């Protein structure tokens, strides 16, 4: 793919409106097919990148894990959510945040999309507070939000966070043979510190700020002995908790955040700009965690 000179917005503002006008006219499988065609198919180039030829991969099913509303939800309420996003000027604010982040790093542009999240998934509303994002497969960024007072206020921070993920993934590709657990957790920490620098400490995600330094120190031995673990499936328990582990929910995000904060406490002259191209292992070694 040629290098993008500027951001390209997938026209989800128009596509969502079209679906919300046409969707109520059909039901069941026909509505699902319509949603897939209008809101997942425009991202087919991303799904091709992610699938790497793997049979059975479905970008639509990936979105339906929480980033895209249930087509069988009450579409009148989804329309109200859409109207709230339009009134908030969500698309314009996301683009402004992405451009500001790009200017800070002098980094690449992106193809980006804003979707309405699935409020029927408990994790979306309760644990992730109504917003989530995906930016680790350049040049694509997807942001998803179910509008609440909290999620709308945090939408800019979500865009900033995902731009950082894209910038980092451009330098250190996700999922490669050298992408170890240290890389996975440090990437999350770096993105949160960038949010803190650009938006303020109050916009650091709740999962990243859920554990104190002392709590991370208790968990650290489990992470330290697995820092070189390779394989995204093997990273999952350390990032998200569960999966047979006794780690707290999304502990890896908090561990990564404290690692980067620990590095910055020892290197007070450093900023996100300095760390964006620094290997994860070097950041760990320079932090307060050994």
Q: Encode the chain (290 residues) as per-residue pLDDT tens digits.
A: 567 889 999 999 999 999 999 999 999 999 999 999 999 999 999 999 998 867 778 999 999 999 999 999 999 999 999 999 999 999 999 999 999 999 999 999 999 999 999 999 988 988 889 999 999 999 999 999 999 999 999 999 999 999 999 999 999 999 878 899 999 999 999 999 999 999 999 999 999 999 999 999 999 999 999 999 999 889 999 999 976 789 999 999 999 999 999 999 999 999 999 999 999 999 999 999 97
Whether 127 and 194 map to the same domain: the answer is: no
Tell me which of 131, 150, 171 is where a domain ends: 171
Whether 192 and 64 map to the same domain: the answer is: no
**Calpha distance 55→194 (Å, rounded):** 37
Strand boundaries in 10-79, DSSP class E: none
Whether 18 and 157 map to the same domain: the answer is: yes
Whether 154 and 192 map to the same domain: the answer is: no
Whether 42 and 124 map to the same domain: the answer is: yes
Asked if residue 231 is part of any domain, the answer here is yes
- Packing angle of the helix pair 12-22, 28-35 (nearest 10 deg): 170
Whether 215 and 239 map to the same domain: the answer is: yes
Whether 25 and 137 map to the same domain: the answer is: yes
Whether 23 and 164 map to the same domain: the answer is: yes
Whether 124 and 237 map to the same domain: the answer is: no
**Calpha distance 151→135 (Å, rounded):** 18
Whether 198 and 147 map to the same domain: the answer is: no
DSSP code string of 98-166: HHHHHHHHT----EEEEEE--TTSHIIIIISTTEEEEEEETTEEEEEE---HHHHHTHHHHHHHHHHHH
**CB-CB contact of 279 with 271 (8 Å):** no
**CB-CB contact of 132 with 117 (8 Å):** yes
Model pTM?
Answer: 0.95
**CB-CB contact of 38 with 19 (8 Å):** yes
**Calpha distance 185→182 (Å, rounded):** 6
**CB-CB contact of 289 with 262 (8 Å):** yes
Asked if residue 290 is part of any domain, the answer here is no
Total domains in the chain come to 2
Question: 170: closest CA among 133, 134, 143, 139?
Answer: 139
Whether 143 and 15 map to the same domain: the answer is: yes
Residue 117 CB neighbours (<10 A): 24
Tell me which of 128, 144, 171 is where a domain ends: 171
Can you give the residue range of the structural domain that contains 280?
A: 181-285
Question: Scanning the structure block, which residue is given the tokens 């582990």?
Answer: 245
């Amino acid at each position: 793919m040629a290098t993008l000179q500027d951001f390209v917005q997938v026209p989800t503002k128009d596509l969502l409106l079209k679906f919300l006008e046409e969707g109520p006219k059909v039901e069941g499988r026909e509505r699902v097919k319509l949603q897939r065609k209008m809101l997942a198919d425009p991202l087919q180039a991303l799904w091709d990148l992610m699938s790497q030829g793997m049979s059975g991969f479905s970008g639509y099913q990936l979105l339906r894990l929480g980033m895209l509303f249930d087509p069988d939800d009450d579409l009148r309420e989804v329309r109200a959510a859409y109207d709230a996003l339009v009134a908030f000027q969500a698309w314009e604010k996301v683009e402004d945040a992405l451009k500001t982040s790009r200017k800070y790093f002098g980094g690449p542009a992106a193809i980006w999309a804003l979707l309405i999240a699935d409020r029927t998934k408990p994790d979306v509303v309760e644990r992730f507070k109504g917003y989530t994002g995906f930016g680790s497969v350049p040049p694509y960024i997807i942001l998803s939000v179910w509008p609440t007072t909290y999620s709308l206020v945090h939408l800019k921070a979500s865009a900033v966070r995902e731009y950082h993920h894209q910038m980092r993934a451009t330098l250190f590709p996700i999922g490669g043979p050298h992408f170890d657990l240290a890389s996975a957790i440090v990437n999350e920490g770096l993105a949160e510190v960038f949010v803190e620098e650009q938006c303020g400490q109050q916009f650091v995600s709740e999962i990243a700020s859920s554990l104190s330094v002392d709590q991370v120190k208790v968990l650290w031995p489990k992470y330290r002995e697995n820092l070189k673990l390779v394989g995204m499936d093997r990273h999952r328990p350390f990032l998200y908790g569960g999966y047979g582990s006794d780690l707290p929910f999304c502990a890896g995000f908090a561990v990564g955040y404290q690692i980067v904060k620990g590095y910055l406490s020892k290197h007070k002259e450093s900023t996100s700009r300095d760390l964006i191209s620094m290997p994860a292992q070097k950041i760990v070694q320079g932090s307060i965690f050994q």
